[in-house]
Structure 1
Amino acid sequence: MKLVLCFGHRWRLSLLLCTALLTVFLLSRYQSLPPPLLTSLAVDLSTGQQSIPTNTTSVRTTNYKKRFPQAIIIGVRKAGTRALLDMLTLHPSVVSPKPEIHYFDKEENYVRRVQWYIDSMPRSYPQQITIEKTPAYFVGPQVPQRIHSVSPNVKLLLIVRNPIDRTVSDFAQLNNKRRKTESHKHTTFEKAVFNGDHVNTLYNPISILVVDGDSLITNPLTQLKRAEAFLGIESYFTESMFFFNETKGFYCWRKISKDAHCLGSGKGREHPEVSPEAVQALKQFFKPHNQQFYNQCGQPFNW
């Protein structure tokens, strides 16, 4: 059984082809599942505070250090990767670097070797799990082998959403960036999207949790509970930590005894109008790929 992912090399093509995140891609890279990464952590769940070794300075120094990530969010772009990571880091057992590292997909970073990658991570205790997020990993043909060569048992999270909504969102972001350059020429959604494709083969879903990005928008708790189980961290998230923001159109969250947090102004931007004909054409285009994706990952998304 194989999963394929479509994407494009130019920005126009990538709008349609990155959306083929819903097609299926190569399953031969990762064969074994690691044991639970974290079974317990000394945390007071009433306050969200974790206990930290305090016996000696040497113990602290030895245990509190930068580590290779035990889990990586590999994509896909405009499906909710930032929201997923921000929500997961509410958990006291989870730490993550702030920026996207782009170690496995960018040559200028990869040549710096794995120690540079580890040095880019935040410090953590052995009982914690480090998660890195770089959506570009999903479309990099060289990425699977690179990840596998240094950490074959790393856990991967892939968040997906309705491919039509993802395509429109991707177009809105790219159009917004291009609007800021002098060379920008107005391009309609239809012209940008209906322009060919390219197929890429990637990862093995035995090590991948497929997160429902549409559900993360409407009911984040269900997806976070699935992520907790997948990552092997103790149950922490509760319904009271999330509330719906009418202005943004999606959920915001608060850590226990902390102020509320919503995604930045770059999220939830206005989308262009898309003709019914274009929507119908995309539905027909994605239909066989969606069905193949459902069969491979064992989850029907009703797209």
Structure 2
Amino acid sequence: MNMSLNNYIYHEEAGLLPRAKGLCCRRISKAKVLGLLVFVGLALFLLTLSSPHYDMNQKVDSGARRRILPKVTDYIDPANKVRPGNSIGLHHDIQNNIPVHKKTDLRQRLPQCLIIGVKKAGTGAMVQYLKLHPDIVIADRELNFFDYERNFKLGFEYYKTLMPPSYEGQITMEKTSNYFHNKDSEWRVHSMNSSMKMILIVREPIARAVSDYLQRKLKDKNTIDLTPTFEELIIRPKNGRINEGYPGIRPSFYYKHMLRWLKYFPLSQIHIVDGDNLVRNPFEEVYAVESFLGLPHLITQDRFVFSDKKGFYCMSMDGFNGTRQEQCLSKGKGRKHPDIDEGVMEMLTDLFRPLNQQFYKLIGKSLTGKINGSYSLNTKI
């Protein structure tokens, strides 16, 4: 009998194979083996698709460092035919060409404008001021969607669920002050909407760094006395140079961060707010933001009332029966900065002067924050 061992395997007692312990005693055809493999492969494929962590539209770029999630167009309601990033035929709430406010179509929307920073430069104040405008709705807290990878991986549909409901014609906004100096935020924002409008608030960089330090120090009352001084954190003990890696100073390198954002967005989509002037003349800066967003100027100058007690402007809010009530920013605003060693001040001034000059050249204008080291140690947050 001439049988190929490739077709069948026989038990040793049949006499066709030499005696060997452990040799399989059942015969298995090629067709059955192939069918079993196909079944297992199909089952694994279906399990992968059903996983909540799998996305068919997910791509991996050539650098293998960044994972590009689906664009916002994948989540837009087909009935609306909204196509962000295309300047032709865009819906008003995506293009930022906002018409007169109409109370229709109340729903959650992805933001059309972001306040991307900078931390301790006046972002919180700007949020409170813009809330006075009836055509603006702003998320109540920092969402850290674009600067935290674990949040970004949840997708744009998740991001939209965090937004406050808005009417058709209103602008939805979100503020996270860490976006500007986070190295991945710019391309993540661009992957969602390349036509996004952004507001960047900057102030004199040394004052901003000291204010950042003070906030970190006061954040935990149990460790206040254990926190090193500003000088100890800002100067490297080994060589006596500025510690540029200190988290409290990194956001102040405006020029370096701006270069990254301009690789993805034109300067026309980024409005620069002078944070120092925002303290002195908030109406002027808010007026410019209204113009940038294409909104009617409804936040009038009488809304800003200077408080002698606080030392900065508060808001005049509508009260009962047509009355006005004064509302100031949080109690944490207005703290006096600690005295800083003059030698450290000179080193920081020498560090930031050329960077500021490059930043001003990059954005095409100079800001009122001084760059010659005359920063007042009595400056408040």
Q: What TM-score do the two structures reach when normalised by structure 2?
A: 0.63
Instruction: Tell whether 2:295 aligns with 1:229.
Output: no
- Distance (whole Å) between structure 1 residues aligned to residue 86 and residue 313 of structure 2: 36
Which amino acid is 2:116 matched to?
I
| Per-residue deviation, 1:185 | 2.4
| Superimposed CA distance per residue, residues 132-188 of structure 1 (whole angstroms, 9 cap, x where no aligned partner) | 000111121111111101111010100000111111111111111244349x62311
Which amino acid is 1:196 matched to?
N
Q: What TM-score do the two structures reach when normalised by structure 1?
A: 0.78
What is the aligned partner in structure 2 of residue 245 from structure 1?
307
Distance 1:31 1:79, change over 3 A: farther
CA contact (8 A) 1:242 1:253 kept: yes
What is the aligned partner in structure 2 of residue 52 from structure 1?
103
What is the aligned partner in structure 1 of residue 229 from structure 2?
188
Greater displacement, 277-286 / 114-123: 277-286
What is the aligned partner in structure 2 of residue 77 from structure 1?
119
What is the aligned partner in structure 1 of residue 350 from structure 2?
284
- Residue 106 (structure 1) aligned to one of 128, 137, 148: 148
What is the aligned partner in structure 1 of residue 167 from structure 2?
125
| Superimposed CA distance per residue, residues 222-245 of structure 1 (whole angstroms, 9 cap, x where no aligned partner) | 101110010111111211101111
- Distance (whole Å) between structure 1 residues aligned to residue 361 and residue 190 of structure 2: 25
| Superimposed CA distance per residue, residues 269-290 of structure 1 (whole angstroms, 9 cap, x where no aligned partner) | 2321112322222211111001
| Per-residue deviation, 1:32 | 8.1
Unaligned runs of 5+ in 2: 1-84, 236-241, 246-255, 371-381
| Superimposed CA distance per residue, residues 89-130 of structure 1 (whole angstroms, 9 cap, x where no aligned partner) | 110010011011111111221121111110100000111001
Instruction: Tell whether 2:272 aligns with 1:210.
Output: yes
CA contact (8 A) 2:233 2:243 kept: no
| Per-residue deviation, 1:250 | 1.2
3-state SS of 2:226 partner: coil
Residue identity over aligned pairs, in percent, reads 36
Which amino acid is 1:37 matched to?
N
Which amino acid is 1:120 matched to?
L
Which amino acid is 2:284 matched to?
T
CA contact (8 A) 1:40 1:234 kept: no
Which amino acid is 2:226 matched to?
K
What is the aligned partner in structure 2 of residue 142 from structure 1?
184
| Per-residue deviation, 1:39 | 4.4
Query: What value does the CA root-mean-square deviation take over the aligned residues?
Result: 2.4
Which amino acid is 2:272 matched to?
V
Unaligned runs of 5+ in 1: 1-29, 43-50, 54-62
Which amino acid is 2:103 matched to?
I
What is the aligned partner in structure 2 of residue 37 from structure 1?
96
Larger radius of gyration: 2
| Superimposed CA distance per residue, residues 21-58 of structure 1 (whole angstroms, 9 cap, x where no aligned partner) | xxxxxxxxx9989997244324xxxxxxxx634xxxxx
What is the aligned partner in structure 1 of residue 132 from structure 2?
90
- Distance (whole Å) between structure 2 residues aligned to residue 280 and residue 142 of structure 1: 32
- Distance (whole Å) between structure 2 residues aligned to residue 286 and residue 232 of structure 1: 34
| Per-residue deviation, 1:246 | 1.9
CA contact (8 A) 2:98 2:170 kept: no
Q: Per chain length, whose mean CA-contact separation is higher, i.e. which structure has more relative contact order (CA < 8 Å, sep 6+)?
A: 1
- Distance (whole Å) between structure 2 residues aligned to residue 67 and residue 278 of structure 1: 47
CA contact (8 A) 2:103 2:168 kept: no
